[in-house]
Amino acid sequence: MQADYVIVGAGSAGCAMAYRLAEAGKSVLVIEHGGTDAGPFIQMPGALSYPMNMKRYDWGYLSEPEPHLGNRRLVCPRGKVIGGSSSINGMVYVRGHARDYDHWRDQGCDGWGYADVLPYFKRMENWHDGGHGGDAGWRGTDGPLHVSRGRRDNPLVRAFVEAGKQAGYPETHDYNGHQQEGFGPFEMTVHKGQRWSAANAYLKPALKRDNCDIIRGFVSRVVIEEGRAVGVEVLVKGRKEVVRAHAEVILAASSINSPKILMLSGIGPAAHLAAHGIPVVADRAGVGQNLQDHLELYIQMAASQPVSLYKYWNLFGKAWVGARWLLNKSGPGASNQFESCGFIRSGAGVDYPDIQYHFLPIAVRYDGKAAAEGHGFQAHVGPMRSPSRGAVTLRSADPADDPVIRFNYMSEAQDWEDFRKCIRLTREIFAQDAFAPYVSHEIQPGAAVESDDALDDFIREHAESAYHPCGTCKMGRASDPMAVVDPVGRVIGVEGLRVADSSLFPRITNGNLNAPSIMVGEKIADAVLGRSPLPPENAEPWMHPDWAQSQR
């Protein structure tokens, strides 16, 4: 029950970290509360709505009632299984925009500009373009993480990109390469028809080594002696044990659980800890603060002809899809069905995309409920850089209690403005000629929902989380009172303790968070090993030449 490095959480960053530290010959113990990822529900990409709704694989967190969303409590799924949320997510692969990382660097995260992180994205990737073109020079081809593209043989998937072009937006052949802005093919962490989670990419190969092992247990706190983290207290099969770390403890337990464990260990806002009777080890005001997420709406259209995936939305169809996948990992089950996307700017003067589209050739919800209308399609749309901030705090000093999660969604006037714009811009895309052969009518919001007030009511009732929580252990300079960790992930004020997961993002990236989370694990692993960071690559990303004057 001891190792050089103890990693708490076998999620996206934790798995990458375990792989790199073990590869370098260090002894590594990973502690994960969840169990195995075996079985078709996780491994079959087309079944993605199942694992995120299964108690067995999900922590089952809910937000507190959200005051600006009619006091709804929103679900906040986090993976409780090896691979973490990369085992239950939608498998969408988005690096984020170059400007996101330059913003991190400018906020005090030295060494995290785009030039610094690009080599890590390349190191982790094994990119398969599927013959659709792309920017080979910007991509990696021998990393552990397989990234592929769907077949894109559904006509709706192609119509979405065509409609984007007809509306005056650029086309992009590789949004993870030179040019993010525009419409084009989506990428997914799928390999040979199977979900390629961080467990499949990193953890399983690491566990084949003698120096890497995994313990199933529930971590209640970090053990700190004389200002230094020396291990963690774990509940294993009902018994409390201490797992010792000779070198460092690394928290990679998610943006919900990492701050919770820090606070239970006495690291956090002193008054909050004192209120729960927890002795203060390090007074860090930022622990649990700065919580961010992406909200999205589903703009759903009914189809005028039977071209959507709805034809499989019955017992026989699902059985056929499942059988094909089990037989040879082919058919609709081999894709997450997010095969086209768009990244656009909401207005002139916005220098890089702040709206993302996931297009889906069926009208369905994340919980697997199909629209009553039958054949249809939808775009998930939402603003990428909401100014709203929330917090994760302790419910009590009892580690068994879920933390209090308050996203504080839509708490700024700009959020409402941005969301109304998202709906109107989406309607304009669906009104283009490319969709004329397929559109019957708008299912939701519905053509009658036009005015600002009516749109606001729809948003209040229907906005859903895109499941991208982050930011709760902000990385920054040691002099920044709200920073929790320094730019190499070390917790400020405690020796031998790091955080490496999405909780250290100072600001949310534009897009899905799995790729940046894995990149964080890769990059901080080099810092832990005392290696010089990979040399920066000064690749010049595409910016709309007329961004200051024009929206497209």
Is residue 265 a part of any domain in this protein? no
Please answer whether residues 310 and 376 qualify as being in contact, where contact means their C-beta atoms are separated by less than 8 angstroms: yes
pLDDT of residue 270: 98
Q: Which of 146, 140, 10 is nearest to 85 (CA)?
A: 10
The CATH number assigned to the domain holding 307 equals: 3.30.410.40
Range of the domain at 432: 151-185+295-383+410-462
Identify the band that residue 365 occupies on the pLDDT scale cut at 50, 70 and 90. Answer: confident
Q: How many structural domains is the chain composed of?
A: 1
Structure tokens at 144: 């552990």
Identify the band that residue 53 occupies on the pLDDT scale cut at 50, 70 and 90. Answer: confident
Instruction: Quick: pLDDT tens for 70-120.
Output: 999 999 999 999 999 999 999 999 999 999 999 999 999 999 999 999 999
What one-character DSSP code corresponds to residue 259? H
Is residue 284 a part of any domain in this protein? no
Q: Which of 132, 24, 65, 13 is nearest to 406 (CA)?
A: 65
Q: Is 468 a catalytic residue?
A: yes
Q: Which of 535, 543, 544 is nearest to 115 (CA)?
A: 535
| Phi, psi of 332, deg, nearest 5 | -60, -25
The type of residue at 306 is P
pLDDT of residue 549: 98
Is residue 353 a part of any domain in this protein? yes
Q: CB 328: neighbour CB atoms within 10 A?
A: 10
Binding site listing for FAD: 81, 89-92, 219
Structure tokens at 283: 């007074």
Instruction: Quick: pLDDT tens for 207-219.
Output: 999 999 999 999 9
Least confident residue range of 12-21, 302-311, 369-378, 431-440 = 369-378
Read off the pLDDT of each residue in 143-155 and give the average, rounded to a whole number: 96
Strands 28-32 and 212-216, sheet pairing: parallel
Residues 408, 405: Cα–Cα separation, whole Å: 9
Is residue 336 a part of any domain in this protein? yes
What average pLDDT does the structure give for the chain? Answer: 97
Share of the chain above pLDDT 70, in %: 99
pLDDT of residue 367: 73
Please answer whether residues 257 and 264 qualify as being in contact, where contact means their C-beta atoms are separated by less than 8 angstroms: no
Looking at the predicted structure, is the pLDDT value of residue 240 above 90? yes
Looking at the predicted structure, is the pLDDT value of residue 343 above 80? yes
Apex 531 CA angle, 525 and 535, nearest 5: 100
DSSP string, 298-354: EEEEEESSS-SGGGG-SHHHHHHHHHHHHHHS-SGGGS-S--EEEEE-SSTT--S--
Residues 434, 299: Cα–Cα separation, whole Å: 17
Instruction: Quick: pLDDT tens for 37-50.
Output: 998 899 999 999 89
Is residue 203 a part of any domain in this protein? no
CA 504 to chain centre: 13
Identify the band that residue 373 occupies on the pLDDT scale cut at 50, 70 and 90. Answer: confident
Burial of 357 (0-12, 13-18, 19+ CB in 10 A): buried
Buried b / exposed e along 400-422 (16+ C-beta atoms within 10 A):
eebbebbbbbbbeeebbebbbbb
Residues 191, 162: Cα–Cα separation, whole Å: 27
Looking at the predicted structure, is the pLDDT value of residue 422 above 90? yes
Q: E strand or H helix at 117, and its extent?
A: helix 114-124
Please answer whether residues 294 and 464 qualify as being in contact, where contact means their C-beta atoms are separated by less than 8 angstroms: no
Is residue 77 a part of any domain in this protein? no
Please answer whether residues 493 and 284 qualify as being in contact, where contact means their C-beta atoms are separated by less than 8 angstroms: yes
- The radius of gyration of the chain's CA atoms, rounded to the nearest angstrom, is 22
Is residue 55 a part of any domain in this protein? no
Q: Which of 124, 152, 59, 96 is nearest to 354 (CA)?
A: 96
Strands 376-383 and 391-393, sheet pairing: unpaired
Apex 191 CA angle, 153 and 188, nearest 5: 60
Looking at the predicted structure, is the pLDDT value of residue 203 above 80? yes
pLDDT of residue 371: 75
pLDDT of residue 341: 98
Burial of 509 (0-12, 13-18, 19+ CB in 10 A): buried
Read off the pLDDT of each residue in 454-460 and give the average, rounded to a whole number: 98
Q: Sheet of 145-149: strands edge to edge? A: 125-127, 145-149, 187-188
Burial of 127 (0-12, 13-18, 19+ CB in 10 A): buried
Instruction: Quick: pLDDT tens for 131-141.
Output: 777 899 999 99
The residues, any chain, with a CB within 8 Å of residue 316's CB and separated by 6 or more, are none
Identify the band that residue 369 occupies on the pLDDT scale cut at 50, 70 and 90. Answer: confident
Read off the pLDDT of each residue in 493-498 and give the average, rounded to a whole number: 98
Identify the band that residue 433 occupies on the pLDDT scale cut at 50, 70 and 90. Answer: very high
Looking at the predicted structure, is the pLDDT value of residue 283 above 90? yes
Is residue 216 a part of any domain in this protein? no
Strands 61-62 and 75-76, sheet pairing: antiparallel
Residues 90, 167: Cα–Cα separation, whole Å: 27
pLDDT of residue 338: 97
3-class DSSP state for residue 292?
A: strand
Dihedral of alpha carbons 444, 435, 148, 369, sign: positive
Binding site listing: 81, 89-92, 219
Q: Which of 33, 375, 468, 544 is catalytic?
A: 468
Read off the pLDDT of each residue in 236-261 and give the average, rounded to a whole number: 97
CA 321 vs CA 130, 316, 333, 334, 443: distances in Å? 22, 9, 6, 9, 26
Please answer whether residues 547 and 345 qualify as being in contact, where contact means their C-beta atoms are separated by less than 8 angstroms: yes
Looking at the predicted structure, is the pLDDT value of residue 526 above 80? yes
Alpha-helical regions (H) of 12-57: 12-23, 40-43
